[in-house]
Homo-oligomer: A and B are copies of this chain.
Amino acid sequence: MDPRVRDHAETLVDWSARIEAGDDVIVDVDEGAHDLAVAVVEALGERGANVEVTDGSGEITRAYLKGRENGDEPFEADPDHSLALFEAADAYLRLGGGRNTMATADVDPETRRAHARSRTGIREARMDTDWVSTVHPTRSLAQQAGMSIEAYREFVYGAVLRDWESLAAEMDRLKERLDAGSEVQIRIDREDRPTTDLTVGIENRTAVNSAASVAYDSHNLPSGEVFTAPATVEGTVCFDVPMTISGRRVRDVRLEVVDGEVVAFEAATNEDALASILETDAGARRFGELGIGMNRGIDRFTDSILFDEKMAGTVHLALGRAYDACLPEGESGNDSAVHVDLIADVSADASIAIDGEVIQRNGTFRWEDGFEG
């Protein structure tokens, strides 16, 4: 076994999920993630954790949902056995990485939504655990990224096997500035794109130092972003990083935002996929997240939100639901059934400022070598 698989497993178990002896852990394994599962389960055994390993493959999910479509029984709310499993669990580790990213492509979206709605209690129980989501580098994900499996493995381990402690310390510098600030200004001026000039109010919001560990309220491995919940948004923004939305590739999204609401939009391809998201509910036209990528191990876009949004030299905003961790105690943020991230490249011809002070120009932070004030 590639020794990096074991390193990945140990990073997940120790740094990310902080597993201790006696923890009841669910490990959910996608079809192509068997090798990572072997390494993770062995590490969990060494730590003295108790494991229940579930099959989280897309083909199994498709088969079940197709069976439901062929039958005529409605979905039952939160089946007892699954709910009991998740309610009693201390941690949930999702090991993604299938053999076909399109495995569930022919499931009726309404079936998918009905199934998701029927499992609200299970989802909440899962979110109450120390959950962490990661992926094993499979050929299918390499294909989606447009890469050979060898190159993709280098990419994934480059993003995952970081010095997380030191990155957390660096990210804390940005978090402190965001927590102290009241307004973020994002400007991108590139010849071949519409200008971005966006102001995001963040007063009284708390930024999350997303350092790939539940100890930082961070549930992705890799992570490496600092994010907060916008209080206000105003201006125009162009998201030039291609995104897959509802299975379709959307490029060059441009939004005009007044009083926090999207009042005009366009996209160079599959604009209707974007329109469909915006029409979901009232909260889908407002923003739930402003995130700034800080993971320098991610050096290219791979059509995977787990990686793309953490790339250093990018910023993203999400239409829809906000995270509670960013909000003042007792206050609820933007609510929506969706949370769709849109990413802009800020590695060139771009600046991010907090209350007028530029903190990043052309992808280089104020505290880094080469910063040009």
Contact = CB atoms under 8 A, between A and B. Distances in A.
Interface string A63-90: 1111111111100100111111111111
Given A52-B81, A88-B81, A44 B64 contact: yes
Interface in A155-181: none
A288 to B, nearest CB: 31
Contacts of A38: 59-60, 63
B22 A42 contact: no
A279 to B, nearest CB: 29
Number of copies: 2
Contacts of A69: 45
A271 B28 CA distance: 42
Contacts of A42: 63-64, 66-67, 70
A211 B76 CA distance: 31
Contacts of A76: 22, 50
A52 B54 contact: yes
A41 interface: yes
A268 to B, nearest CB: 38
Given A55-B37, A85-B84, A44 B60 contact: no
Interface of A: 21-22, 24, 26-27, 29, 31, 34, 37-39, 41-48, 50-55, 57, 59-60, 63-73, 76, 79-90
5 contacts: A24-B80, A37-B55, A41-B63, A42-B64, A55-B55
